[in-house]
Amino acid sequence: MGLQTDFMVAVNQIAAERNIDPDDVLDAIKLAIQTGFRRDYPEEEVESVIVDIDKSNGMISVFADKKVVDLVTNSDSQIALEDALKIEPKLKVGDHIQVDITPSGDFGRVAAQAAKQVILQKIRESEKNAVMAEFTGHIGEIEYAVVQRMDGDNVIFEIRRATAIMPQEDRIPSEFYKSGSRLKVLLKDIRETSRGKQLIVSRADPMFLEALFKLEVPEIVSGSVEIKSIAREAGSRSKVAVSSNVEGVDPIGSCVGQKGVRINAIMNELKFGNHEEKIDIIAYAEDTSEFIANALSPAQVIRVTIKDDKKKDALVIVPDEQLSLAIGRDGQNVRLAAKLTSWNIDIQGETVKVNDNQLDEEQRQKLADARRAKLAPTEEEVKEDEKGKEETEENVEIEKLKNEEASEKEEEIKEKPVKEKKTKKKVKD
């Protein structure tokens, strides 16, 4: 059955307009014809319907795929050997043959009309797949997206011609997504779903923060500065470990920028209202102890002890007055440091031990008491000090008396020889 001569022209035109492969359009038409054939020709009971379209002339043919057998037990899927040999002389039992069952009349028009929705759906799917293919090579990059609507806990975005979803776990908790607003998002993934391929975007993923640094810090793009690891609690605080691959390049200074212009640009992108995500830029170190100490910034560290290399357990000692800072609010600072370094970090003060890496009110009071106890002398120390003072004063008095006696004796010794000389002179006279 022939279609109009402009059939393939129309197919190619649709493909060009939708930016999809012409073969995908043909596949959609084949699927539509299969659907229409089964519905409009129920008397043709066949298990497998094959539709073929000749690209050169637009000829549509419908075939039933059947297995060659000696004795037919199911005419829907089988054909007798003697009947099959009339079509193809070289067939044998067990082979498959495609039997032409193309209806006569205006089957083409009826089938196409009935299957219109199927064709449109297939084209939409093909178009969607073509759009997804455009993003495949750009996963991990940042794109501008426009908020369309909320779908439960998910945010629906429009990016160019594609629809993207931001699941709840990829949202920054403090952010509100207003319809029509334009935001930077990370192209995180393309997932296969029951509805086809779906573009997933994120603003909470650590990769989003890394991508923002790449936009603002050219040294990272050039490779002279490298981001070694990121630990992030989106909307609250992050730690970024950086190192230099070029001598003389300051990795932290490069990320901060002159007068903080680079890091401020990144933080402004993550800021929503009064909610601000703090970012600690950490100097990476090959030495584990040094890296752990750096990761706990801004707290000062006295020493780091590696307890177990295999389990990656480390003990960190900090000044008592730095313990609260090292742990952070609700344990956030040490938690991020642990993620950044991939080590289990146990923090203790010089006199206060904290095993759960978190200070509650009772522990804070203990820490304060410990500080006071450390700074204020005990009663015994006061008594010892007073005793020492008394002994010192007594020793000073004794030393003073000794010095006075010594001075007097020295004077006596000096005067004696003079008197003896005078006496001798008188005797001679």
pLDDT, tens digit (0-9, with 9 covering 90-100), for 380-392:
544 555 555 555 5
The structural domains of the chain, ordered by start, are 7-124 (3.30.1480.10), 138-204 (2.40.50.140), 211-284 (3.30.300.20)
Residue 52 pLDDT: 86
| CA distances to 124, 126, 157 from 129, in Å | 9, 5, 17
**Lowest-pLDDT range of 7-11, 107-111, 312-316, 324-328:** 107-111
- Greatest alpha-carbon pair distance for the chain in Å reads 180
Confidence of residue 149 (pLDDT cuts 50, 70, 90): very high
Residue recorded with tokens 């997206």: 145
Residue with the two structure tokens 């950490």: 282
SS3 state of residue 190: strand
Distance of CA 269 to the CA centre of its chain: 16
For residue 304, the model assigns a pLDDT of 95
Range of lowest pLDDT (8-12, 50-54, 79-83, 176-180): 8-12
Buried b (16+ CB within 10 A) or exposed e, 244-264: beeeeeebbebbbeeeeebbe
Residue 396 CB-density burial (10 A; 0-12 exposed, 13-18 middle, 19+ buried): exposed
pLDDT of 146 strictly over 70: yes
At 117, phi and psi to the nearest 5? -65, -35
Kindly report, residue by residue over 172-214, the tens digit of the pLDDT: 988 889 999 999 999 999 988 877 788 999 999 999 999 999 9
Contacts of 25 (CB under 8 A, 6+ apart): 11, 14, 15, 18, 123, 126
